Amino acid sequence: MISTDQHWDTLYSNATINDSDPLNCAEILSENAFLLPPKGKAFDLACGMGANAMFLARHGLAVTAVDISKVAIDKLSVYASSNALDINAYVQNIDPKSIPKCAFDVIVVSRFLDRRLSDAIIDALKPDGLLFYQTFTKEKTTPTSPNNPDYLLNRNELLTLFSSLQVILYRENGLVGLPSSGLRNQAQFIGQKNINKTS
């Protein structure tokens, strides 16, 4: 049976990096770039080929990018070095203990879901830090992958997983209205860590 890292290594083996188009990164990030701080530290969790990391670096942030795929990380590291992008990319099988506390001004997670990490992600944000999260939902307008419910959000689940953060933006269009238009099959969340927020 093929391992998870082998699966992603195979997927990324023939892929090439091109960050000239900002739409290569997650929409939650590209459409809300005006919320990013002018400088600081960012974390791209499960970064894949690093589109989000490159977007963040081009906006002046020092980026840490981690992924399980050595192939993806090697390609990202070479590209970042060749283009003078402030990205520290490394291979990491991510678990709650591997994420440093109070370390980042911005965290981005896209097309990845591991519910065990939610508290660690919150703890990794500095005060006033921002989380940009976008991933797949169980409610779909078209039969797209992934299909494993472990990697699919229930309705409003990001609001529950990150309930201690101040909600800046939330979008989950579900099946409402014209199914062929707008954001479908995914939910988007931006939250801010506010140490003064009361539950």
Residue 197 lies in a domain: no
pLDDT at 131 over 60: yes
| Digit-coded pLDDT (tens) for 102-119 | 999 999 999 999 999 999
Query: Residue 177: its pLDDT value, please?
Result: 56
Residue 19 located in a structural domain: no
Give me the number of domains the chain comprises: 1
**Better-scored residue on pLDDT, 11 or 63:** 63
Spatial distance between the Cα atoms of 165 and 193, rounded to a whole number of angstroms:
5
Quick check: is 98 in a domain? Answer: yes
- Is 138 a member of any domain? yes
DSSP 3-state assignment of 14? Answer: coil
Token pair listed for 65: 């990018």
Range of the domain at 151: 4-9+24-192
What is the tens place of the pLDDT at every residue in 13-22?
777 776 545 4
Report if residue 53 sits inside a domain.
yes
What is the pTM assigned to this prediction?
0.86
Which residue's structure tokens are 């981005």?
108
Which CATH number is 84's domain given?
3.40.50.150
DSSP 109: E
